[in-house]
Amino acid sequence: MSARAKIAVWWDMKDCPIPQGYDARGIRSNIERAFKKRGYSGPVSITAYADQNQTADDLLRELSSTGVDVAHTISESTCSVMFSDMLEWRSKNPSPASMMLISNQVEDVFSWDLARLQQETKYNLFLAYSFSSEVLSVLSTSKEWRWKKLLDDYKDEEIESSSSSSSSAMFYCKSSSSCKFDCQSIEKFRKHLSSKQHALEEAVNPWSEELDPVTKTWARNYAAKPEYATAKIAVWWDMKDCRIPEGFDAIQVRPSIEREFKKLGYSGPVSITAYGDLTQTPDHLLRGLSSTGVDVAHTSSHVTCKRMFSDLLEWQDLNPPPATMMLISDMVEEVFAKSLARLQQLKKYNLFLAYSFRPYKMSVLVTAAEWLWESLLADSEKRRHLLQKCSERRGESMGMFYCKLCFCDCKSLDHFRNHLSSKEHALEEGDVISLIESVEYERRQRIEMEMFPKSKRLRKASG
């Protein structure tokens, strides 16, 4: 935390209005007190966005008197203007620094691009809203407030004079992409908003309603940054999604992956764990993987992603950045992305992905490299003879065999097979599957009750 670093606030006045009868001069004081309560004492800049034709002069004067900048926007483009201003501020104010968004649109409008930006350059992020989303946000925040509570917590305290003088507060017109008007007088501001020139600019060149996500242009497969070039690389591989192709020699998997890493300049030690229902995997594939140091982990398809993510978290605890993580799975966006994106905003690992088919949309996760699974293995046949010789020198069972249902491990394939065929394992696997099915049934029942409340009452009545 950088206690004295700059803090910038972008406030949507339509989503979070000034309450009726509230002294607008208290807005800045309450926000600054909330920051100070959490140990932040840096200079605070606040910009209030709205269709200011709808805002009373006395409110604008009160805001301006405490150094709050005022921006006129068209309601439909407010988010776009706020985001554009935030990007400009970030470019001029490198971290460490803090940002705050006061809006109900963060999750629906801002979160995807902002989460990607935060994975690359971390700012402390604060949010305030008049109502909260019911879904887990992809954004990692330092603190969130309900707007009413933020104002009510200090409403009885004396309004402090701000360090920002009223003369420094600005009035901006941002309803048109071509209008650059600004002033420090509310009279001049009102005169501009009522002028024919303003009306013409607003009609001819309105500000875009759509955000322009800057991170969509970010490329994939970057050359290794110096701090990651020789750092550890951990790979978690879902063998059901990204299978070993028919007739492909399993001893070629590790060298194929490592070769792609080296093309990008990565030469650090690589650990690989392959997950799947290994009762369905032939012994020759398991021996081939193990002979090259690949660990193999037996799971049920019900829990593969959970076990992979649990192992990833455990690995993070033991291996702080700089280091690189790689997920080989088709379920990254559906299962891993939101939680992992939140972690990446905090911890800043390098991230690789591989999948059997191209995702239909760009992930919220910022990656240093991505591959199609088949492309990782594409030219391995050319090296088959050399790799076979390498595997002969390596010997057998260098990798471990894990059962992620019973949480036991074996050093030999024979012992591993004996475990998977044991009664103890069968009982444990049955218990795991039963528990998952029970949880899923309860989840479906809960959703049904929420969607069809009348059905719930009828069932109670019939009982």
Provide the CATH number for the domain around residue 242: 3.40.50
Regarding whether 437 and 367 lie in a shared domain, the answer is no
Report helix, strand or coil for 236.
Answer: strand
- Does residue 314 lie within any of the structural domains? yes
- For the cut 50, the answer to whether the pLDDT of residue 457 exceeds it is no
Report helix, strand or coil for 352.
Answer: strand
Question: Total structural domains in the chain?
Answer: 3
pLDDT, position 216:
86
Regarding whether 239 and 193 lie in a shared domain, the answer is no
**Host domain of residue 375:** 219-421
Mean pLDDT of 209-228: 87
Regarding whether 126 and 26 lie in a shared domain, the answer is yes
Regarding whether 368 and 239 lie in a shared domain, the answer is yes
Regarding whether 187 and 261 lie in a shared domain, the answer is no
Q: What percent of the chain has pLDDT over 90?
A: 73
Report the distance separating Cα 86 and Cα 74, nearest Å: 18
Query: Picking from 203-217, 222-236, 392-406, which range would have the lowest pLDDT averaged per residue?
Result: 392-406
Cα separations in angstroms, 313 against 215, 326, 399, 436, 452: 26, 13, 21, 21, 38
Query: Picking from 312-321, 331-340, 430-439, which range would have the lowest pLDDT averaged per residue?
Result: 430-439
Regarding whether 458 and 318 lie in a shared domain, the answer is no
Query: In the structure, what pLDDT confidence band is assigned to residue 380 with cuts at 50, 70 and 90?
Result: low
- Does residue 387 lie within any of the structural domains? yes
Q: Are strands 182-183 and 324-328 parallel, antiparallel or unpaired?
A: unpaired
Regarding whether 389 and 442 lie in a shared domain, the answer is no
pLDDT, position 165:
45
Relative orientation angle of helices 283-291 and 413-420, to the nearest 10 degrees: 140
Looking at residue 434, its amino acid is S
Query: In the structure, what pLDDT confidence band is assigned to residue 417 with cuts at 50, 70 and 90?
Result: very high
Domain boundary among 201, 216, 231: 216
- Does residue 337 lie within any of the structural domains? yes
Six token digits for residue 287? 């021996």
Which strands, in side-by-side order, build the sheet including 69-72?
Answer: 143-146, 124-129, 98-102, 7-12, 44-50, 69-72, 171-173, 182-183
Residue of higher predicted confidence among 217 and 193: 193
pLDDT, position 277:
94
Regarding whether 409 and 328 lie in a shared domain, the answer is yes
- Does residue 428 lie within any of the structural domains? yes
pLDDT, position 390:
44
Whether 51 contacts 14, CB under 8 Å = yes
Report the distance separating Cα 220 and Cα 214, nearest Å: 14
Closest CA to 404 of 432, 363, 443: 432
Mean pLDDT of 164-192: 88
In the chain, what's the furthest Cα-to-Cα distance?
86
Cα torsion angle, 445, 447, 449, 451, sign: negative
pLDDT, position 404:
92
- Does residue 406 lie within any of the structural domains? yes
The dihedrals phi and psi of 102, each to the nearest 5 degrees, come to: -110, 100
pLDDT, position 444:
75
pTM confidence score: 0.86
Regarding whether 47 and 189 lie in a shared domain, the answer is yes
Domain boundary among 153, 184, 216: 216
Cα separations in angstroms, 57 against 52, 190, 278, 293, 407: 9, 9, 71, 72, 67
Regarding whether 445 and 334 lie in a shared domain, the answer is no
- Does residue 339 lie within any of the structural domains? yes
pLDDT in tens, 274-283: 999 999 999 9
Query: In the structure, what pLDDT confidence band is assigned to residue 164 with cuts at 50, 70 and 90?
Result: very low
Mean pLDDT of 38-50: 97
Regarding whether 439 and 389 lie in a shared domain, the answer is no
Q: For the chain, what is the mean pLDDT? A: 89
* 62, containing H or E segment: helix 57-65
pLDDT, position 389:
44
pLDDT, position 429:
84
Regarding whether 130 and 211 lie in a shared domain, the answer is yes
Report the distance separating Cα 211 and Cα 390, nearest Å: 52
- For the cut 80, the answer to whether the pLDDT of residue 231 exceeds it is yes
pLDDT in tens, 300-311: 888 999 999 999
Domain boundary among 216, 249, 281: 216
Query: In the structure, what pLDDT confidence band is assigned to residue 391 with cuts at 50, 70 and 90?
Result: very low
- Does residue 2 lie within any of the structural domains? no
- For the cut 60, the answer to whether the pLDDT of residue 210 exceeds it is yes
pLDDT, position 159:
55
pLDDT, position 161:
53
- Does residue 1 lie within any of the structural domains? no
Mean pLDDT of 433-454: 72
pLDDT, position 452:
78
pLDDT, position 217:
82
